[in-house]
Amino acid sequence: MGLGLRDLAHCPVELNLMPKSSIQRQEFAHKKPYLIASVFSLALVVFAIYLAERRIGSDRGRHLEELKAPLAQLTQMNQQLTGAISQRDQLKRDADQMEQLAGNRFYWIKLLSELRSVMLKSEAATKASFRTPENNGTNTDVGVWVVTFSPVLPSGGTFGGGFEGAAAQSIGGGFTGGGGGMRGGRERFGGGARMGGGPRPLQGAAPQISPTPAAGNAISSIALLCRGVSRLDLSPTANSDLAWTVLQNVTNSPYFTDKSTLGQNISVDPGSNTFSFYLTVELKQPFRF
């Protein structure tokens, strides 16, 4: 019927009287080849990706097999290097220990020599300050030395009783006597030294300051009982000035720290021309054992 109507007149409008569902089926039938081609192309793409991945995986596997031998060699070399480093560290520890032992052998010799140098400098500085018109720069010899030398142990105790005689006769400028020659305390200091054959310890000579023990197996501080020639006849502050000069030279020394402290009491020894004071010196390099 639709075709018959079309033949009766010339109509510029194209009419299609087919049902919409038929038109959609026709359009779908026209698109089928394209859909099939798209699906096929997608399948080809997936297949191509598969082939590429497979080839890449094969190449990686081949390269991995090629790297296994050098990797095993490098692993073995790394183990050897680790062992060599461990051995080197052990040898270094042994060398450091030997160096420490060698240094400890001369540690106290150097320390006592430095302490004696401190006493000499203190004597020289104090002597220079006593050049007064009353004595015309003469008879101003001073002396200061160590009576007891007590290193402070890590446990908090001190040892040094055996050092008392040795320290008193080997440490300090009191044995340089003006010209620098070695002389004993008996020869130089008059009645105070002659009475007991040498410097006498104070009664109950326990240090009046409490040094802090070092942590571990080390000695970081030393408690000293020092004695000097009393010059109160020249200056009322002569004894304290000498003690403070000793402390100043200790803190300026490369062997001791500025934490070194001076005891509170600077007392004249009865029956002699000497005075005593306590001093605690802190070591810059603790003695380890």
Measured between alpha carbons, how far is residue 161 from residues 26, 77, 225 in Å?
122, 59, 12
Nearest to 204 by CA among 249, 281, 265: 265
Is 81 inside a domain boundary?
no
**Range in 108-117, 161-170, 255-264 the model is least confident about:** 161-170
Side-chain half-sphere exposure of 158, counting CA atoms within 13 A: 24
Is 85 inside a domain boundary?
no
Is 66 inside a domain boundary?
no
Q: Give 256's pLDDT tier (boundaries 50, 70, 90).
A: very high
Return the pLDDT at 227: 92
Is 124 inside a domain boundary?
yes
Is 46 inside a domain boundary?
no
CA 133 to chain centre: 53
Is 84 inside a domain boundary?
no
Number of structural domains, the chain?
1
User: Contact, 185 vs 168, CB < 8 A?
Assistant: yes
User: How many CB atoms are closer than 10 A to CB 261?
Assistant: 17
pLDDT of 104 higher than 50: yes
pLDDT in tens, 194-234: 223 333 333 334 344 455 555 567 888 999 999 999 888 87
Calculate mean pLDDT across residues 189-195. 31
Query: Model-level pTM greater than 0.85?
Result: no
Is 216 inside a domain boundary?
yes
pLDDT in tens, 67-86: 888 888 888 899 999 999 99
Is 120 inside a domain boundary?
yes
Q: Which residues contact 145 (CB under 8 A, 6 or more apart)?
A: 119, 168, 171, 172, 173, 174, 175, 185, 199, 226, 227, 228
Return the pLDDT at 57: 85
What is the spatial distance between Cα 1 and Cα 281, in angstroms, rounded to a whole number?
Answer: 130
Please give the residue that has the higher pLDDT: either 160 or 216: 216
Q: Which residues contact 92 (CB under 8 A, 6 or more apart)?
A: none
Q: Give 133's pLDDT tier (boundaries 50, 70, 90).
A: low
Return the pLDDT at 234: 79
Return the pLDDT at 173: 47
Please give the residue that has the higher pLDDT: either 255 or 104: 255
Average pLDDT over the chain reads: 74
Q: State the residue range of the domain holding 155.
A: 108-288
pLDDT in tens, 26-46: 777 777 888 888 888 888 888
Nearest to 114 by CA among 13, 260, 235, 214: 260
pLDDT in tens, 116-131: 999 999 988 888 877 6
Return the pLDDT at 25: 77
What is the spatial distance between Cα 262 and Cα 260, in angstroms, rounded to a whole number?
Answer: 7
| DSSP-derived secondary structure for the chain | -HHHHHHHS--SS----S-HHHHHHHHHHHHHHHHHHHHHHHHHHHHHHHHHHHHHHHHHHHHHHHHHHHHHHHHHHHHHHHHHHHHHHHHHHHHHHHHHHHHHHHHHHHHHHHHHHHHHHHHHHHHHHT--TTTTT-S----EEEEEEEEBPTTS-B--TTHHHHHHHHSBGGGSTTTS----HHHHSTHHHHTTTSPPPPTT---SS-PPPPSSSEEEEEEEEEEEE--TTT-TTHHHHHHHHHHHHHHHSTTB-TT-EEEEEEEEPTTSSEEEEEEEEEEEEEEE-
pLDDT of 164 higher than 90: no
